[in-house]
């Protein structure tokens, strides 16, 4: 079951597992909404979104608790957001250049590369981040047109 989480700031620290900058996490939680996939009344997967304008929505964070990964909860949350904002023309999601699994996941869900913010992880994260033997340097954006997907 998916539902909005009203006590979203209570999850800020947990969400740093997928976005280690607590200041950025708190900022987008304050400005946006947090939804959870609940099992037995406990959230096991999360998605934070911001409606940036009447034409754009951005997914800011997706996290599934380690022991619940691989069951399609993140995919279900993304599809829920896409349906909720189906009248918004474009939805964006971003990830690090080093996040190969995320890049493949978003591509499989129909997202296409849009643009990058160079050296984002160098400028905004005090600790170096490495995944798959690569340093996270650039923030890559992917987008999907929601118009006509009803």
Is 38 in contact with 2 (CB distance < 8 Å)? Answer: yes
Statement: residue 149 has pLDDT above 60: no
Phi, psi at 27, each rounded to 5°? -65, -50
- Of how many residues is the chain composed? 150
Rounded Cα distance, 63 and 125, in Å? 19
Statement: residue 12 has pLDDT above 50: yes
Average pLDDT over residues 35-44: 96
Rounded Cα distance, 15 and 50, in Å? 15
| pLDDT band, residue 148 (cuts 50/70/90) | low
pLDDT attached to residue 132: 86
Dump pLDDT digits (tens) for 74-101: 999 999 999 999 999 999 999 999 999 9
Average pLDDT over residues 112-121: 97
């Amino acid at each position: 079951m998916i539902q909005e989480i009203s006590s979203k700031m209570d999850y800020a620290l947990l969400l740093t597992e997928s976005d280690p900058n607590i200041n950025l996490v708190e900022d987008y939680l304050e400005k946006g909404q947090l939804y959870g996939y609940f099992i037995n009344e406990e959230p096991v997967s999360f998605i934070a979104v911001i409606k940036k304008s009447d034409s754009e929505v951005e997914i800011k964070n997706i996290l599934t608790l380690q022991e619940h990964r691989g069951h399609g909860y993140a995919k279900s949350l993304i599809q829920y957001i896409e349906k909720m904002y189906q009248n918004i023309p474009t939805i964006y999601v971003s990830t690090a250049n080093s996040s190969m699994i995320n890049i493949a996941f978003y591509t499989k869900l129909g997202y296409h590369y849009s643009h990058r913010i160079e050296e984002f992880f160098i400028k905004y994260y005090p600790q170096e981040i490495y995944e798959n033997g690569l340093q996270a340097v650039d923030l890559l954006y992917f987008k999907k047109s929601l118009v006509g997907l009803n």
